[in-house]
Amino acid sequence: MRIATWNVNSITARLPRLLAWLESSGTDVLCLQEAKVAEEKFPVEEVRELGYESAVNATGRWNGVAVLSRVGLTDVVKGLPGDPGYEGSVEPRAVSATCGPVRVWSVYVPNGREVDHPHYAYKLQWFEALRAAVAGDAAGDRPFAVLGDYNVAPTDDDVYDRADFEGSTHVTPAERAALASLRETGLSDVVPRPLKYEHPFTYWDYRQLCFPKNRGMRIDLVYGNEPFAKAVTDSYVDRDERKGKGASDHAPVVVDLDV
């Protein structure tokens, strides 16, 4: 079974590449982030033609998440129970579903913007709500994983140059403590470092030739419980999908399971 996560940075802009990737990659379950489209505009029919069902939580221009599955899609939950909301509204940042023998969450963790910005406090509160929401499944016997854009680099090795992030979000002790607290529910990072290259980054800014220079970050993560982690046989970051015209600024992260 092949499961992947990919921040597509607008499913409308990325649709031809998404459909081609689904056809070529052999992916059974794909967790998507940053759909940037209203739910009624999500390309449900286009992915159905390739054999995928869709669970979508999206409301418009920003955010938006989905799970695409060709191995079944049941027990869908849209939204994060206990979501703290931001400025009085709840954003579409989480959706969960059971896909065959595995249950997954697709999450798009708030960016945080700046350390002294209200969005940063919201980010930490959102992590607390995520921890509470997944704790039961994380401790269970069924393979379970939380996949998505976490907007946190777990260690200094997960950014191209720690000095360039001094005073910035994504690398602060509080954000990394939130990740550690999530792992304490029984989850672990199932994508090892190093992979087939020294720095398996998943995100590269469009500006300043960041991708050609490999000035990236590893912020797209797959956190699985023990049954999920034990079933992992391989994993990789599909860097080729970050290349070329019309690419997202994130690459897909792919995990193979023997379940």
Query: In a 3-state reduction of DSSP, which class is residue 7?
Result: strand
Domain ranges of the chain: 2-257
Pairwise CA distance, residues 98 & 71, whole Å: 9
Q: Write down the pLDDT at residue 159.
A: 94
Pairwise CA distance, residues 152 & 163, whole Å: 16
Q: What is the pTM of this model?
A: 0.97
Q: Write down the pLDDT at residue 61.
A: 82
Q: Write down the pLDDT at residue 200.
A: 82
Q: Would you identify the CATH topology of the domain 2-257?
A: Deoxyribonuclease I; Chain A (3.60.10)
Query: In a 3-state reduction of DSSP, which class is residue 123?
Result: helix
Q: For residue 144, give every residue at least 6 positions away whose Cβ sits within 8 Å of its Cβ, in sequence order, or none.
A: 102, 103, 104, 134, 137, 138, 224, 225, 227, 228
For the chain, residues with pLDDT lower than 50 are none
Q: Write down the pLDDT at residue 192.
A: 75
